[in-house]
Structure 1
Amino acid sequence: MSENASRDGPADCGHTSLRTASTFRNVITPAVLFRLALGWGAFAAVLTAEPVLSAHLPSPLLVGVLVGITAVIIVCAFGVVAEAEHLAHRLGDPYGTLVLTLSIVLIEVVLISAVMLGPGEHLTIARDSVMAVSMIILNLVIGIALLVGGMRHGALEPNRTGVSSYLSLLVVLTTLAFVLPGLIGSDGAYGRGQEIPIIALTVLLYAFFLHLQMGRQRADFQEVSPRHSVTGTSDAVAVRRPPITEVLSQHRKEVGLRAVTLVMTVLPIVLLSHDMAALLDDGLDRAGAPVALSGILIAMIVFLPETITAVRAAHAGEIQRVSNLCHGALVSTVGLTIPAVLTIGLLTGQTVVLAEDPTNLALLGVTLLLSVTTFAGKKVTPLHGAAHLLVFLIYGLTVFS
């Protein structure tokens, strides 16, 4: 028996090596290598040329640099979308979309935290960033997705329990972030004694949500498919998939490699978008545009991979995946950003202003109410998408007012 085992051992190792090499070739394709080289090469070039870029560039050169960075970001964004779709296909929802969402959100949180820990005062950076992301995701991205999906497939049916879970958390988290500091805090910021319970409660709520989303409530975040009974009625049932543990045991090398590739492709997108912030501020200032527009454009660029993925999912009729990408991203953004910046404020003694002005609060309230009414019905339609887009256009008008 030992002789057979010794003969089988090298053969098994050989088969394992061949499978590993095949997996590596399937994941790390020439297109993937090109995008990684392009993204990180562009970031290295921007970092090297920082002394020149920080000077007063001629307007044509400034526009050229901004166009070049944007082009690199778009190429990398399509790479992120490709990896996200592979992971979503392999893992199923909500795990597939959760990898993409957490990758982008965690990097964004780290960069906001790095700005706060850097020189100068940044009292409202978290508020402005999260507010811009909220309006972009809840109105612009969802509006476009509902229009695209509705025009192609007609009315679409989301998993209402899952969407309701997202929106319930968003109502609570945005209230803690933008409303409560103006009511119980001082000058729009929580007091030192108030920050600790807010941090703890936010982290606990978000952790409990992730625990349920990846556990017993997983089916609430999966696509529903029509099931027709003998009476001709139709009920929505979640599409069943094998357990995540089984999928990971069979494809752990592929999943791990794709996850690392996704993160390594996302990272230059976020780094480049923040590096171009100063250039964009300069360009908008020369054009006479409001400075607040810069934050909105940067947020749109950072979440470009999720936007493309959400629109493609809507085009394929996967409306629950749209919700997982959009609502899930915003829950993660608020649930991670607010505790992070409040913790940094406590440790460094900085004041973190979170309370929003009445105009943005009114628009946020309308957005949340519209989101609830959009997904409360059995079907979502292109008309819902048009309503969300109108709210985003109104938000854009307030920026220029």
Structure 2
Amino acid sequence: MFKHVRKETPLLFGVVMAILLYGPAAFLFGDTFSLPIFLMLFVVLFCVMMAMSFSAVRHADHLADLLGEPLGTLILTIAVITIEVALISSIMLSGDAAPTLARDTMMAVLMIVMNGVVGVVLLVGGFHHREQEFNLRGANAFLTVLVTLASMSLILPKFTVSTSDASLNNTQSELFAVITIVLYATFLAMQTRRHRSFFVQPLAENASEGGAEHHSHGEANSILFHAVLLVGILVPIVLLSKKMALLANFAVGTWQLPAALGGVLIASLVLAPEALAAFHSARENYLQRAVNICLGSALATIGLTVPAALAISVFINQPIQLGVTNTDLTLLLLTMFVSALTFGGGRTNMLQGAVHLVIFVVYVVLIFDP
């Protein structure tokens, strides 16, 4: 009993933190913050939310072991993207969000996952195993839907003329939200039912090295146990995201930081556990799980974040700009092209990882020096 309680310490901290910040300590969140108070609140909130994110991924990972692929990885992806959507929604509903927040967050997720995480994963996997195999049909399915949704959501609004900026009018927003949900739901149906085999590690001569097994978080309990705790830990994360949103808005507005940093902060917070899971899978020569995590996260970001952001925009009558800048457009198109080449064959190596990391470094540099 004590062992289980000790493992759920992040959940306990999160519940206590939520009670305090919505109760006795609510006065700390006013219209402005002194630097010491801001730093204290930011560090504590960030650490608690990061710990809870890792705990959520631990339960999702156990469900992945119990349910098998691709359902396990799908649960992991949905859990993480739920945190991202909660953070973006909280900032948008606060009324002080920049109109480009959702766009910057989605762009940050795509760049971090498709270039940063994929680059490290392929480098690590190539270093330990020279070449690694994955299921080509699954990767092609991911990329087909991802390129379509990313183009519709982040590129097309830049060229529409129904508004004076890179946004959509209400009719377009409603239509795009519905189309995005329908296409993503169609993909999920294909992934979990009709073509489930597309997302399973192909048989290889080195399957006995541990690639077909994935037990990185100790002994698992029942499916119900992990499912209940996974949902339970997402609740305080969603509540605390509202407080983190206030801090993020204050920092960007007060110190004139690049607006894209808000998106990078959200993306880093929610992607760290998944990045670690992908890294661990590649090191164990189970590249398919890493591919499912990376491409699944990128796709879920577009498939879930775009409808949520557009729905909130229409509901509160606050336009959002989804069309990317010219610089980001170049990086996005380059990422799509290189990803198609990387996942267009059945094997990967270190060189492909290095190329993705170079694109990621360029993205980070251009945030601060566009």
TM over 0.5: yes
**C-alpha contact 2:331 2:363 (8 A) present in aligned 1:** yes
Superposition deviation, residue 381 in structure 1: 1.5
Matched, 1:188 2:166: yes
Go from structure 1 to structure 2 and tell me whether the alpha carbon gap of 1:145 and 1:206 turns closer, same or farther (over 3 Å shift). same
List per-residue Cα deviations over 1:75-124 (Å, max 9, x = no partner): 33332332222111111111001112112223432443344344356532
Report if the CA contact (8 A) 1:139-1:388 is conserved.
Answer: yes
Q: CA deviation at 1:156?
A: 1.0
Shifted more, 71-80 versus 373-382: the winner is 71-80
**Within the alignment, does 1:293 sit opposite 2:247 as a pair?**
no
Q: For residues 338-397 of structure 1, what are the alpha-carbon distances to aligned partners after superposition, in whole Å with 9 as ceiling and x for unaligned? A: 223323333443323211110011111111111111111231112222221211111111
Matched, 1:279 2:234: no
Q: Does 1:360 align with 2:328?
A: yes
- Partners of 2:83 and 2:270 within 8 A in 1: no
When structure 1 is superposed on structure 2, of 273-282 and 185-194 the one drifting more is 273-282
Distance across 1 between alignment mates of 2:45 and 2:124: 28
Q: How far has the Cα of 1:328 moved from its partner?
A: 0.8
For residue 71 of structure 1, report the CA deviation from its aligned partner: 2.9
Q: CA-to-partner distance for each residue in 1:24-44, whole Å, 9 max, x for gaps?
A: x69x81233322101222233
Match for 2:104: what amino acid? D
Query: Residues 390 and 269 (structure 1 numbering): CA distance in 2 closer, same or farther, change over 3 Å?
Result: farther
Instruction: State the alpha-carbon separation in 1 of the partners of residues 33 and 171 from structure 2.
Output: 47
Q: Distance in 1 between matches of 2:78 and 2:222?
A: 19
Q: Which range is displaced more, 96-105 or 147-156?
A: 147-156
1:117-149 CA deviation, whole Å, 9 max, x = no partner?
Answer: 443565322212211111111111222222222
The percentage of counterpart residues that share the same residue type is 35
- Contact 2:81/2:297, CA 8 A, preserved across alignment: yes
Quote the Cα distance in structure 2 between the aligned partners of 1:284 and 1:344: 21
- Report the secondary structure of 1:29's partner residue: helix
The one-letter amino acid paired with 1:311 is: F
Higher mean C-alpha displacement, 254-263 vs 86-95: 254-263
CA distance, structure 2, for counterparts of residue 40 and residue 332 of structure 1: 27
| Alignment match of 1:39 (pick from 4, 14, 20) | 14
Contact 2:199 2:288 in 1 (8 A): yes
Question: RMSD of the TM alignment (CA)?
Answer: 3.0
Q: 1:289 Cα deviation (Å)?
A: 4.8
CA contact (8 A) 1:107 1:267 kept: no
1:237-274 CA distances to partner (integer Å, 9 max, x unpaired)? x979xxxxxxxxxx9x9212212212323444454455
* 1:141 aligned onto 2:109: no
Contact 2:157 2:322 in 1 (8 A): yes
CA deviations over 1:153-209 (Å, ceiling 9, x no partner)? 221111111011111111100111011112224221223343343233222211111
2:184 to 181, 198, 206: 206
Task: Report SS of the residue matched to 1:206.
Answer: helix
| Counterpart among 342, 350, 354 of residue 386 in structure 1 | 354
TM-score when normalising by structure 1: 0.79
Which residues of structure 2 form unaligned runs of 5+? 214-219
In 2, Cα distance between equivalents of 1:345 and 1:75 = 31
4+ residue stretches of structure 1 with deviation over 6 A? 284-288
In structure 2, the residue matched to 1:30 is: 5
Is residue 86 from structure 1 mapped to residue 62 from structure 2 by the alignment? yes
1:219 counterpart letter in structure 2: S
Kept in 1, the 8 Å contact 2:97–2:249? The answer is no
2: CA distance, partners of 1:116 / 1:287: 20
Equivalent residue number for residue 177 of structure 1: 153
Contact 1:81 1:305 in 2 (8 A): yes
Partner Cα distance (1:274, 1:117) in 2: 9
Structure 1: give runs of 5+ residues left out of the alignment.
1-24, 229-233, 241-250
**Are residues 1:95 and 2:63 paired?**
no
Instruction: Give, in whole Å, the separation in 1 of the partners of 2:157 and 2:38.
Output: 39
**Larger Cα Rg: Structure 1 or Structure 2?**
1
Q: Which moved more, 1:379-388 or 1:196-205?
A: 196-205
Which residue identity is paired with 2:288?
Q
Instruction: Pick the aligned partner of 1:258 from 212, 226, 230.
Output: 226
Partner secondary structure for residue 198 of structure 1:
helix
Q: Distance in 2 between matches of 1:65 and 1:115?
A: 17
- Aligned counterparts of 1:210 and 1:266: Cα–Cα separation in 2: 22
CA distance in 1, matches of 2:172, 2:33: 45
Distance 1:296 1:93, change over 3 A: same
**Residue pairs, 1:243-254, within 5 angstroms:** 254=222
Distance in 1, Cα, partners of 2:291 & 2:305: 20
